[in-house]
């Protein structure tokens, strides 16, 4: 039986909470669930001691209101200064650019993501078509005959692609590649793509005033996460806890 200042957290509550904490083993899921309930009870007791309105029991889910009130009341949350925001911008300039553009053609040899046999066959077909293109075959003609994408009607052209317009596994490879016919098929959840990059346009640097708000929000969220973890650690030191060990749970709070 787990107890927080003599308030018991029953096993039934832990078992119910486990559904929200998928893990490799049942033990890991139970530890995560128990940790969540313990932290929830610690915060609940502290909020009640301050006269805040809280639910009697349950997990942290749905309790954002009282937790935010508690943090506002009990934790000094520093805000990122103008100098800190500017420093982060200067140290991370490559992150703050417009999306690069890639103009490309492709031939999609389709394959269902869960059909291993079809994927093997599609990869073989894609590699054969790639060899034909290297030997001088016409890209548009092969796209018209073999591609499972509607772009086959325009020679396989997808036009200009910017970040976020395609699936991540496809996007990662095309934005990292140089212009020309890619040396191997690009695999995605849709199958295998033979890709020819026609042109690349690099992203343009964004001025500080256009990204200041994003930077400030990011830095403030990092500070809040750290301050909240430290606050919970301090509360843990002040309670009587039976039947649970944060060190055993490998909680990030203890790292």
Contact status, residue 58 vs residue 16, Cβ threshold 8 Å: no
Q: Which are the contacts of 33, defined by CB distance < 8 A and separation ≥ 6?
A: 14, 15, 17, 18, 20, 21
CA–CA dist 194, 208 (Å, integer): 39
Sign of CA dihedral 56, 59, 65, 69: positive
pLDDT band at 250 (very low <50, low <70, confident <90, very high): low
CA–CA dist 129, 94 (Å, integer): 37
**Is it the case that residue 105 has pLDDT exceeding 70?**
yes
Chain-wide mean pLDDT for the chain? 91
pLDDT tens per residue, range 45-96: 999 999 988 755 444 444 567 888 899 999 998 899 999 999 999 999 988 9
Q: What is the pLDDT of residue 244?
A: 92
pLDDT tens per residue, range 172-200: 999 999 999 999 999 999 999 999 999 99
**Protein fold of 101-201:** Chitinase A; domain 3 (3.10.50)
In the chain, what is the straight-line distance between the N-terminal and C-terminal CA atoms, in Å?
A: 25
Q: Are strands 101-110 and 7-9 parallel, antiparallel or unpaired?
A: unpaired
Q: Where do the domains of the chain lie?
A: 2-82+210-254, 101-201
């Amino acid at each position: 039986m787990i107890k927080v200042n003599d308030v018991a957290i029953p096993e039934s509550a832990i078992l119910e909470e486990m559904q929200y904490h998928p893990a490799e083993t049942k033990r890991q899921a139970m530890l995560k669930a128990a940790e969540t309930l313990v932290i929830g009870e610690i915060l609940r007791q502290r909020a009640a001691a301050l006269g805040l309105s809280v639910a009697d029991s349950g997990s942290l889910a749905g309790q954002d209101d009282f937790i935010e009130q508690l943090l506002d009341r009990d934790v000094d949350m520093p805000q990122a200064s103008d100098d800190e925001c500017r420093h982060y911008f200067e140290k991370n300039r490559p992150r703050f650019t417009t999306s690069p553009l890639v103009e490309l053609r492709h031939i999609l040899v389709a394959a269902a993501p869960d059909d291993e046999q079809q994927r093997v066959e599609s990869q073989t077909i894609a590699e054969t078509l790639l060899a034909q293109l290297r030997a001088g075959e016409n890209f548009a003609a092969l796209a018209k005959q073999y591609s499972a994408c509607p772009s086959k009607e325009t020679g396989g052209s997808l036009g200009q692609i910017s970040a976020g317009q395609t699936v991540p596994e496809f996007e990662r490879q095309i934005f990292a590649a140089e212009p020309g016919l890619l040396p191997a098929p690009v695999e995605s959840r849709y199958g295998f793509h033979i890709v020819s990059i026609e042109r690349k346009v690099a992203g343009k640097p964004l001025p500080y005033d256009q990204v200041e708000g994003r930077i400030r929000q990011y830095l403030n969220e990092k500070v809040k996460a750290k301050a909240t973890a430290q606050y919970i650690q301090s509360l843990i030191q002040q309670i009587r806890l039976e039947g649970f060990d944060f060190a055993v749970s490998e909680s990030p709070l203890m790292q």
